[in-house]
Structure 1
Amino acid sequence: MGDIETVAVTDLPDDFTSDAERILLDVREVDEWELGHVRGAMHIPLAEVPARIDEIDLDRELLVVCRTSGRSYRIMEYLLMRGIDGAVVTGGMVAWESAGKPIETGSGDE
């Protein structure tokens, strides 16, 4: 996994709602997302990413998060093979919560 860039949760903002330069893609399942996610993150479960890739603004820096990083590495391998750059959030949501960063619960649909 040496070719995949990583970023620490401590280097990220608490809220991606108004971040015009980056997109945080959460690839966890719906039940995991509803238990807690980063405000302003985009949610597409891992298995759906290939079919929904056109929903992701690839002009922005792509950051990928899951529970602990495993799924993030898998989808970044897939994306890199297709020429799409991005970075994995090291430690995922477990690290996010351990760092005391805020989360939102529920579907995120207003």
Structure 2
Amino acid sequence: MSMGDIETVAVTDLPDDFTDDGDRILLDVREDDEWESGHVRGALHIPLAEVPARIDEIDLDRELLVVCRTSGRSYRIMEYLLMRGIDGAVVTGGMVAWQGAGKPVETGAGEQ
């Protein structure tokens, strides 16, 4: 499997807020300090290393989108999930692209 086998989505194709999005879930796999410095409203935060143990917290009936800082960790976790039969897509450019596009972020611990 290569990065080319993993679906991607542009930040400009996503809503600014996932709070009431019943069809999709945005999984943020960054570390706690990164999350607290700025995250997407309504995203689910599970640091990369904790995803395998916390997989039950992810609603797999919804479309899964994964975000990190620039996409590297998102590709790694999507590769892991795809090998387990879980489909999803990587948010291209991660939170750097999100903020670069002028999309809003929340700071602080928020929902996790």
Provide TM-score, normalisation by structure 2: 0.97
What is the RMSD computed on CA atoms of the aligned residues?
A: 0.4
- What secondary structure is seen at the aligned counterpart in 2 of 1:63? strand
Amino acid at match of 1:106: G
What are the superposed Cα offsets for residues 23-76 of structure 1, whole Å, 9 maximum, x if unpaired?
000000000000000000000000000000000000000000000000000000
For 1:3 and 1:32, locate their aligned partners in 2 and report how far apart those are by CA, in whole Å.
27
1:9 and 2:14 are equivalent in the alignment? no
User: In the TM superposition, what is the alpha-carbon distance from 1:2 to its structure 2 partner?
Assistant: 1.1
For 1:97 and 1:3, locate their aligned partners in 2 and report how far apart those are by CA, in whole Å.
26
Aligned equivalent of 2:84? 82
Aligned equivalent of 2:23? 21
For 2:74 and 2:82, locate their aligned partners in 1 and report how far apart those are by CA, in whole Å.
12
Percent identity (aligned): 90
Aligned equivalent of 1:48? 50
Aligned equivalent of 2:33? 31
Q: Which runs of 5+ in 2 are unaligned?
A: none
Aligned equivalent of 1:64? 66
User: In the TM superposition, what is the alpha-carbon distance from 1:99 to its structure 2 partner?
Assistant: 0.1
Q: Which runs of 5+ in 1 are unaligned?
A: none
Q: For this pair of structures, how many residues does the alignment match?
A: 109
- What secondary structure is seen at the aligned counterpart in 2 of 1:16? coil
